[in-house]
């Protein structure tokens, strides 16, 4: 079994729950309210802008020029392919420039990208690849898993088709092969850190669906709201 497959097996519970999450199944059967997908597009556009920067840090930390070139190409591809797709979704969903300027990342989007930056700044290329690979791999698996789905909503059809496409498969397999190659010469401590990064990112991928489905914000959870008694402000 390859190192990458070992990592995927270790994160099975997060991946299987991603396939079953109502946000993902709602895209596949067309039942997901557009409000939730609209929220997702805004959060994912933020995520991808940070993701491309982490890919670029991977290019800078590469030990050979070819890998530097390829990681830079991946960063460029994130902009050209995925962000362009989100621009199209933004137009179809009537997301205004004012909304984009006023945008604030959700707690989950902020935490996930912070995790990626931590892996990138403190780790080497293998740790960067391990941290970003679940985003590639899980989306491709979802695209394949729901490839035959024909939701009534055209936006959802396009989303599924994009991640099950051959061009995306090639990018996923390239990064899987790169991680396996790096793992061959990695120390036990490096393998452990790569495993941790992969599993944490897999967790956050699942949480990203939940974030969008619940329209997560920075508010205080309702169970923590103080009960008003009518005596607030009375020091006695």
The tens digit of pLDDT for each residue in 88-101 reads 888 888 888 888 88
159 falls within a domain: yes
35 falls within a domain: yes
Range of the domain at 202: 3-217
- Mean per-residue pLDDT over the chain, rounded: 91
187 falls within a domain: yes
Catalytic, 153? Answer no
pLDDT of residue 163: 87
Residue 77 neighbours by CB distance under 10 Å = 16
Is 232 a residue whose pLDDT tops 70? no
pTM given for the model: 0.91
114 within 8 A of 37, measured Cβ to Cβ: no
227 falls within a domain: no
226 falls within a domain: no
Is 45 a residue whose pLDDT tops 50? yes
86 falls within a domain: yes
What is the Cα–Cα distance from 160 to 166, expressed in whole angstroms?
13
Is 86 a residue whose pLDDT tops 80? no
Residue 14 neighbours by CB distance under 10 Å = 19
pLDDT of residue 235: 43
Catalytic, 98? Answer no
Q: What is the pLDDT of residues 130-149, one digit of tens each?
A: 999 999 999 999 999 999 89
The one catalytic residue in 99, 127, 135, 190 is: 135
* Between residues 189 and 89, the one the model is more confident about: 189
56 falls within a domain: yes
- Counting residues of the chain whose pLDDT is more than 90, the rounded percentage is 75
How many structural domains compose the chain? 1
The one catalytic residue in 205, 210, 216, 232 is: 205
Structure tokens at 9: 């097996």
**CATH number (domain holding residue 20):** 1.20.910.10
224 falls within a domain: no
pLDDT of residue 82: 67
Is 230 a residue whose pLDDT tops 60? no
């Amino acid at each position: 079994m390859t190192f990458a497959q070992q990592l995927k097996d270790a994160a099975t519970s997060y991946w299987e729950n991603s396939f079953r999450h109502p946000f993902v199944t709602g895209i596949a059967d067309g039942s997901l309210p557009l409000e939730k997908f609209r929220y997702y597009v805004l959060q994912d556009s933020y995520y991808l802008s940070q993701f491309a920067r982490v890919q670029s840090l991977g290019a800078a930390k590469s030990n050979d020029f070819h890998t530097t070139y390829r990681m830079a190409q991946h960063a460029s591809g994130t902009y050209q392919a995925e962000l362009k797709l989100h621009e199209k979704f933004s137009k179809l969903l009537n997301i205004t420039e004012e909304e984009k300027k006023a945008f604030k990342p959700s707690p989950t989007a902020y935490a996930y990208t912070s995790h990626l930056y931590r892996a990138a700044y403190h780790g080497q290329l293998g740790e960067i690849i391990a941290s970003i690979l679940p985003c590639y791999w899980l989306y491709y698996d979802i695209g394949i898993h729901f490839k035959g789905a024909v939701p009534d909503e055209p936006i959802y059809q396009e989303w599924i088709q994009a991640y099950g496409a051959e061009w995306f498969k090639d990018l996923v397999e390239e990064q899987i092969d790169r991680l396996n190659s790096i793992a061959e010469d990695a120390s036990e401590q490096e393998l452990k850190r790569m495993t941790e990064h992969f599993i944490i990112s897999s967790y956050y991928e699942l949480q990203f669906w939940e974030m969008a489905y619940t329209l997560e914000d920075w508010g205080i959870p309702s169970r923590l709201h103080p009960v008003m008694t009518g005596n607030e402000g009375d020091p006695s």
